[in-house]
Amino acid sequence: MDRNNEKTHFLSNSKPVTLTPSWEAQKLPEDDLNFKGMDKEKLPLKPPLDKWRLVFIIFMLHGLGTLMPWNMFITAKSYFEDFKLAPVDGGNGTTVYASSFMQYIGFASQIPNLIFNWLNIFVHLGGDLTKRIVYSILFELLIFIVTVLLAILDSTSWQAAFFWITMISVVLLNMANGIYQNTIYGMAATLPIKYTGAVVLGSNISGLFASVVSICSTYIFSSHRTSAIYYFITAMLVLLVCFDTYFALPLNKFYRYHTMLRRKEEKPLTNQQEVTKVPYWTVFKQASPQMFNIFFTFFITLSVFPAVHSDIKAVAPDFVISPDLFASITCFLTFNLFAMLGSLTTSWIQWPKPRFLCVPVILRVVFIPLFLLCNYLPKGVDRTIPVLITNEWVYWIIAIVMSYSSGYLSSLGMMYAPQTVQPKHQITAGMFAAAMLITGIFSGILFSFVMPSLVAL
């Protein structure tokens, strides 16, 4: 056979490779899964390297995407409360919608997120992994388009309608995000421990990113409307990047190796056709110590952030940060920056070990009274208890320690949880961990409703 015939023969017998990361759900042949050259019975003794840390970066990007909806809406607090929901006559008062916006946005975000995180563990909402992630991201993009349109429109004469349309949008956004977030944590759980940390790191970067974009858009654009339009368009661009990078995973040898390794471990030893049932309760019990750590870390954090944290005002009128930027910098920027740094630290330091992680997690309860003793002035509430922490620098240090410990301890809990179960159940453990994360957030937000009444006793 001459060279031309050989080439023609090769091209006629070559099949295109399907780029779908969801092979564990579709049970496709190895050749269709980009596994050519990998014998699932004889995997390489030396695992492939994550060259240029591409898989780490992709999961970090998806971590950023999973908390983008929540962070973009809470960081835009000033846009909603001081512009869209401000008094129509331009007075100094506060409308009922503005005074309750943060509490409502918390419920509208976290209740659907909580429900769909837990449902996604037991019910394959949306089908296989690819469909769950792709459809969720596309739906989130659609909701952000609606949010941009609402920013363009003048809603002065229909504030009530704007308020409830926004809340419905947030509910729908977080229904999709609950599926997206839970699935990504499940996927990361099958990789080495630091890749779950990458998702948590990305989620903390998400908050920092939202804070920086908010501050920059406020300074660049003098109009609240223009600032908000570009602010929410930025979120759409991030989700588009997440959408695109997801399909790069099957091209990476490192990711393919670990997926093949998991498929080999999940293969039934006795009957190939046997359907293996996931022992949900056993998995939950084995991972329960870390589930508690994840839950309680986020419960304490969300009890004070952002509801209490963002309503703490400077006592000194001549403080280095101007009053209009005090909350943006000492609350949102500080929390997101140091939570990110705390999460990043776990890439090099993983202490304490799983058995003793509960000790610092429980000790963080001290942050609740500390924040209440600062100059916390909730809207519509007359504070009666004295302000004992009057130094802005002391308050800022407390905020930094709270933020850093939140990022660090939550990352450790999320990283440890999948390691407490058998490899074949790590996806389920990762999904349980994500659901407990959201449960902690929701419970903390719920508890934050009590805070205004505690300073008005």
Would you give the distance in Å from CA 161 to the centre of its chain? 28
Do residues 444 and 456 make contact, with C-beta atoms less than 8 angstroms apart? Answer: no
In this prediction, residue 175 carries a pLDDT of: 94
Closest CA to 331 of 371, 298, 292: 371
pLDDT at 440 over 80: yes
What CA–CA distances, in Å, run from 56 to 29, 164, 178, 182? 26, 39, 22, 18
In this prediction, residue 272 carries a pLDDT of: 45
pLDDT at 363 over 60: yes
Which amino acid, 302? L
- Backbone φ and ψ for 281, nearest 5 degrees, come out as -65, -40
pLDDT at 105 over 60: yes
pLDDT in tens, 143-163: 999 999 999 999 989 999 999
Q: Which of 95-104, 113-122, 293-302, 355-364 shows the lowest mean pLDDT across its residues?
A: 95-104
Rounded distance, CA 312 to CA 310, Å? 6
pLDDT in tens, 365-413: 999 999 999 999 997 788 999 999 999 999 999 999 999 999 999 999 9
In this prediction, residue 267 carries a pLDDT of: 58
Rounded distance, CA 196 to CA 428, Å? 13
For 21, the 3-state DSSP assignment is coil
In this prediction, residue 219 carries a pLDDT of: 84
Own/partner long-range contacts of 447-454 (Cβ < 8 Å, ≥24 apart): 447/299, 447/302, 447/303, 448/103, 448/106, 448/302, 448/303, 448/304, 448/307, 448/308, 449/103, 449/307, 451/303, 451/304, 451/307, 451/308, 451/372, 451/376, 451/378, 452/378, 452/381, 453/381, 454/372, 454/385
pLDDT at 207 over 90: no
Rounded distance, CA 309 to CA 396, Å? 10
Handedness of CA 278, 280, 285, 289 (dihedral sign): positive
pLDDT at 248 over 50: yes
For 278, the 3-state DSSP assignment is coil
Q: CB under 8 Å to 122, separation ≥6 — which residues? A: 280
Give the DSSP letter of residue 307. T
Task: Categorize the per-residue pLDDT at 420 as very low, low, confident or very high, splitting at 50, 70 and 90.
Answer: very high
Rounded distance, CA 178 to CA 172, Å? 10
For 312, the 3-state DSSP assignment is strand
Rounded distance, CA 32 to CA 9, Å? 20
Rounded distance, CA 421 to CA 291, Å? 12
pLDDT in tens, 9-25: 444 444 444 445 444 44
Q: Span 53-251: which CATH code?
A: 1.20.1250.20
Residues of the chain with CATH 1.20.1250.20: 53-251
Comparing 338 with 71, which gets the higher pLDDT?
338
Q: DSSP secondary structure string, 208-259? A: HHHHHHHHHHHHH-SSHHHHHHHHHHHHHHHHHHHHHHHTTGGG-HHHHHHH
In this prediction, residue 31 carries a pLDDT of: 45
For 376, the 3-state DSSP assignment is strand
In this prediction, residue 345 carries a pLDDT of: 95
* 280-456 to CATH, choices 1.10.3210, 1.20.1250, 3.30.70, 3.30.1380: 1.20.1250
CB neighbourhood size of 71 (10 A): 25
Rounded distance, CA 362 to CA 339, Å? 18
Task: Categorize the per-residue pLDDT at 185 as very low, low, confident or very high, splitting at 50, 70 and 90.
Answer: very high
In this prediction, residue 87 carries a pLDDT of: 86
Q: Which of 104-113, 340-349, 368-377 shows the lowest mean pLDDT across its residues?
A: 104-113
159-188 vs 101-122: helix crossing angle, rounded to 10: 40
Across residues 227-246, what is the average pLDDT?
Answer: 93
Do residues 399 and 331 make contact, with C-beta atoms less than 8 angstroms apart? Answer: yes
Rounded distance, CA 245 to CA 51, Å? 15
Q: CB under 8 Å to 445, separation ≥6 — which residues? A: 103, 106, 107, 110, 302, 307
In this prediction, residue 39 carries a pLDDT of: 52
Determine which helix (DSSP H) or strand (DSSP E) holds 166, and give its type and residue range: helix 159-188
Across residues 445-452, what is the average pLDDT?
Answer: 90
In this prediction, residue 44 carries a pLDDT of: 57
Rounded distance, CA 370 to CA 374, Å? 7
Do residues 173 and 111 make contact, with C-beta atoms less than 8 angstroms apart? Answer: no
Give me the percent of the chain exceeding a pLDDT of 90.
56
In this prediction, residue 33 carries a pLDDT of: 46
Task: Compute the mean pLDDT over every residue in the chain, rounded to the nearest whole number.
Answer: 86
Rounded distance, CA 404 to CA 345, Å? 10
Across residues 269-288, what is the average pLDDT?
Answer: 74
Comparing 29 with 267, which gets the higher pLDDT?
267
Do residues 294 and 442 make contact, with C-beta atoms less than 8 angstroms apart? Answer: no
